[in-house]
Structure 1
Amino acid sequence: MKINWGTGIVIAFVLFISFIMFFVVRSLTDESLEHELVTEEYYKKELQFQTELDAEQRAADRGISLEVRRVEEGLMVKFPEDLIPENIKGKVFLYRPSDKQFDFEVAISLSDPYLLIPKNRLLDGRWNLIANLSYEGETYLVKQSIKF
């Protein structure tokens, strides 16, 4: 049987469309290709963005930075020595970019100038640390990316 040009073109189109449809169906049904949003309430968080920028700028202007290091007991977050530890309030949020089920928050209540996060709450890998501090009526925001 001899195939003419018209039949060859139709066969080529059908094979090409089948090839494309295979990859479309595969990409929609493959579990490993699913990605979550960074945050569930994206638009609500966007409205708070300017206040976060202002808090980050206040922290930079005052020279507030956190020293984060791994110790035997877990992760030690050391606050600046010029701040009185008892007056620091707020929360430290640890965000795991690869899996949101490991995200957690720790309230800041200090008697020493450091906060210890137990190692049983942390997995090895990358974490984003977001510290929202309140000190003497001002709010400060410090963000760091760490590896544990």
Structure 2
Amino acid sequence: MRINWGTGIVIAIALFMSFILYFVIKVQSNSKYDNELVVEEYYKHDARFSEEMTRIQNAHDLAQKPVISKAAEGFTVVFPATFTPEKIKGKVSLYRPSMKNLDFEIPISLSNPTLLIPKSRLVGGRWDINMEWQYDGKSYLTKEVIYVD
């Protein structure tokens, strides 16, 4: 039996399409490849984008910014000494890009300018930190990325 050019091209395209279809079905059916959204209510989040940019700019304009540093017991967030710690209110959101169930928040309620993020709650890998805080009626937003060993 002899295969001409047309038949060979049709067979090659059919094999290629089968190959791609196999991987699409494998990824969609396997729970290891979870397709979660980064934000649950994406459009509501997008509508407040300009407000978020204003808070980021407020944090950027500070002469002294909060500093996140690694410590033996976890990570510490040190707010500037120019702020009264009792007046700082807000939350620190820790977001794990690879696993949504590890995400958590820590409220900011300080008696000294240092907030501790305990290492026991952090699994090794990348963490995105969003600090949303207010001081004297002005809102701030600081975004950082940390890596835990």
TM-score by length of structure 1 reads 0.88
Q: Which residue of 2 aligns with 1:39?
A: 39
In 1, the alpha carbon distance for the partners of 2:3 and 2:61 equals: 77
**Aligned partner letter, 1:120:** S
Structure 2, unmatched stretches of 5+, are none
* Structure 2 residue matching 1:115: 3-state secondary structure: strand
* Structure 2 residue matching 1:38: 3-state secondary structure: coil
Counterpart check, 1:122 vs 2:136? no
Counterpart check, 1:67 vs 2:67? yes
Change (3 A) 1:75 1:137: same
- CA offsets 1:52-104 (integer angstroms, 9 cap, x no match): 10011111122352211221211111111111100000000011111111111
Q: Which residue of 2 aligns with 1:92?
A: 92
In 1, the alpha carbon distance for the partners of 2:125 and 2:133 equals: 25
User: Is residue 27–residue 33 contact of structure 1 (8 Å, CA) maintained in 2?
Assistant: no
Alignment of 1:1-148 (within 5 A): 2-3=1-2, 5=4, 9-30=6-27, 31=30, 32-148=32-148
Query: Post-superposition shift, 1:16?
Result: 2.4
Moved more, 49-58 or 34-43: 34-43
**Aligned partner letter, 1:3:** R
- Aligned residue-pair number: 145
* Misfit runs of 4+, over 6 Å: none
Structure 1, unmatched stretches of 5+, are none
In 1, the alpha carbon distance for the partners of 2:25 and 2:132 equals: 38
State percent identity of aligned pairs: 39
TM-score by length of structure 2 reads 0.87
Find the structure with the greater CA-based Rg.
1
In 1, the alpha carbon distance for the partners of 2:121 and 2:17 equals: 44
